[in-house]
């Protein structure tokens, strides 16, 4: 008949009728129509969004690979070079002990990113484990796990972190436990 493809018998569906002629569209690939892909598509249409995303990717790459390319040890003290302004030798200058600030910044970003990945992974494993246990066991096990979670959520995070640091002492392990 006279159907031009816009209805259910035409085979192309209602999606093609909603798109203006000449408008850019995403190809409909299986699994890519979810909210994550829609968000990325909307982000790709904004110059400031793409600039921000590029900046985040660059910071992550510097944090991951940067320590391998540093010229100076971030902890090396050189009092003869203290408080130097930015220069060709020290791009961000030096601190009051003569340590290179660029090296210290990149090293700090590397350690922070590593800590965040480890803490996120451990929290995910523990959370999925307890969630699966509560879901499978149900009943009193579920109620007990929920009461522990309620107590933890009722405590302010900063107070709990300070209590852990005060009890266990300042260290990277204590920080990871507190997070």
User: Tell me: the pLDDT tens digits for 48-57?
Assistant: 989 998 999 9
pLDDT value for 134: 92
What residue spans of the chain are helical by DSSP H?
Answer: 15-18, 35-44, 47-65, 101-137, 139-154, 157-168, 172-178
* Position 138 confidence tier, pLDDT thresholds 50, 70, 90: confident
For residue 33, pLDDT beyond 90: no
Neighbours of 171 (CB within 10 A): 10
* Position 80 confidence tier, pLDDT thresholds 50, 70, 90: very high
Contact 119, 90 (CB under 8 A): no
* Position 43 confidence tier, pLDDT thresholds 50, 70, 90: confident
The whole-number average pLDDT for the span 99-127 is: 93
* Tokens coding 106: 């990149």
* Tokens coding 39: 């968000």
Please compute, for residue 89, the number of CA atoms within 13 A of its CA located in the half-sphere on the CB side. Answer: 7
Overall pTM surpassing 0.75 (yes/no): no
Classify the phi-psi angles of 170: left when phi > 0, otherwise alpha if psi is within -120 to 50, otherwise beta.
beta
For residue 16, pLDDT beyond 80: no
User: Tell me: the pLDDT tens digits for 148-163?
Assistant: 999 988 888 888 888 8
The whole-number average pLDDT for the span 79-98 is: 95
pLDDT value for 158: 86
* Position 176 confidence tier, pLDDT thresholds 50, 70, 90: confident
Contact 71, 88 (CB under 8 A): no
Which residue(s) pair with 100 in the sheet? Answer: 94
């Amino acid at each position: 008949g006279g159907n031009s493809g816009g209805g259910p018998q035409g085979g192309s569906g209602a999606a093609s009728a909603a798109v203006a002629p000449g408008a850019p569209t995403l190809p409909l690939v299986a699994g890519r129509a979810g909210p994550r892909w829609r968000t990325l598509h909307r982000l790709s249409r904004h110059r400031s969004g793409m600039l921000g995303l590029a900046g985040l990717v660059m910071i992550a790459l510097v944090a991951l690979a940067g320590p391998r390319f540093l010229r100076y040890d971030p902890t090396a003290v050189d009092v003869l070079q203290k408080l130097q302004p930015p220069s060709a030798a020290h791009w961000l200058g030096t601190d009051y002990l003569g340590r290179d600030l660029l090296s210290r910044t990149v090293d700090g970003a590397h350690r922070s990113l590593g800590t965040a990945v480890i803490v996120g992974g451990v929290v995910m494993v523990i959370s999925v484990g307890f969630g699966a246990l509560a879901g499978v066991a149900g009943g009193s096990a579920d109620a007990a796990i929920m009461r522990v979670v309620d107590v933890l959520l009722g405590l302010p995070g900063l107070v709990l972190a300070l209590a852990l640091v005060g009890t266990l002492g300042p260290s990277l392990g204590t920080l990871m436990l507190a997070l």
